[in-house]
Amino acid sequence: MLGDLVRSLTIFCSSSTAKNLRSFPKGQVGQFRLNSFLRFLAKNSNAYYTKSPRIRGIVDGKLGVVGGRMLVIPAIDIRGGNCVRLVQGRLEQETIFSKEPVFVAKLWQAQGAKRIHVVDLDGAFSGVIQNLELIMEIAKSINVPVEVGGGIRNIDTIKRLLSGGVAKVILGTSAIYDTDTVRKALKKSGDRIVISIDSLGGKVAVGGWREITAVRSTILAKRVQEMGVKEIIFTDIKKDGMLKGPNVKGIKAFAEKVAVPVIACGGISTLDDVKRIKELEEYGVSGMIIGKALYTGDIKLQEAIEISER
């Protein structure tokens, strides 16, 4: 066993993943080294990993904690009380898929979803959450965790959501313009706070994607890591709602520079896309958000979950 482990570690240390570790925050690099090494062992199993039952047991058990099964997270975007989908965040390209978002949430739960992603589009565009009661109703009507974003810009709103049954709160614009709120939220609620980084051409977009900042997506990721965030949602805006496939290369490049789990979002349109995102698990991608393709029927949720959990 010791020989297998030493050989594994030697090869890992010469890999590109290990070389990138020097850019990560000091406070998190130790844990990420362990996570990366375990993922590396799992990927490169043929040479030595499967030959040592003890190593295999350690890795399998540890990966259940740091990696685990990749999540497929259905998205419910709410505007005017309806479940809608936009194209690249454009209001003029809205399609209403249901007037009963609560029913939709129950449907996704029944089909095996282990988390639901809810965005208050009215809140995202106005800067103040608009569909609070409806969101609370969704959270209380199902038994799986609900994460919520859109117009959440202050501690009081975060408290109301978390105390009202919402499992995780997503902050985006605040990560650029109100870092004090982000720090306070992280200090009080820890891993119940998720940061959403929406990227257009490598730059962060905020305010319902109407403003493109000068901040690079990877720079913001490093900033929020230093604040203590435990999970980041990364969205490629150009791909969102287009049904033309995700930017796999861009997601991989982002995840490689991030020392916390990344949820990929934008453009996942077929089961082949699900497989391609699944292959990024070793780089730290822990889940994917799927929206429009579920509503058009291009992807069946149960089939996507089956692929993600292999």
d(CA 172, CA 176): 7
Identify the active-site residue in 122, 198, 236, 240. 198
Identify the active-site residue in 77, 236, 240, 273. 77
Q: Which two tokens stand for residue 265?
A: 């979002």
**Which among 202, 206, 263, 191 has a CA at the least distance from the CA of 232?**
263
Q: Is 29 exposed, middle or buried (0-12, 13-18, 19+ CB in 10 A)?
A: middle
Helix (H) or strand (E) run with residue 290 in it = strand 285-290
> Residue 94: how many CB atoms within 10 A of its CB?
16
Q: Among this protein's residues, is 77 annotated catalytic?
A: yes
193 pairs with which residues across the strands? 169
d(CA 217, CA 251): 11
Q: Among this protein's residues, is 178 annotated catalytic?
A: no
Residues annotated as catalytic are 77, 198
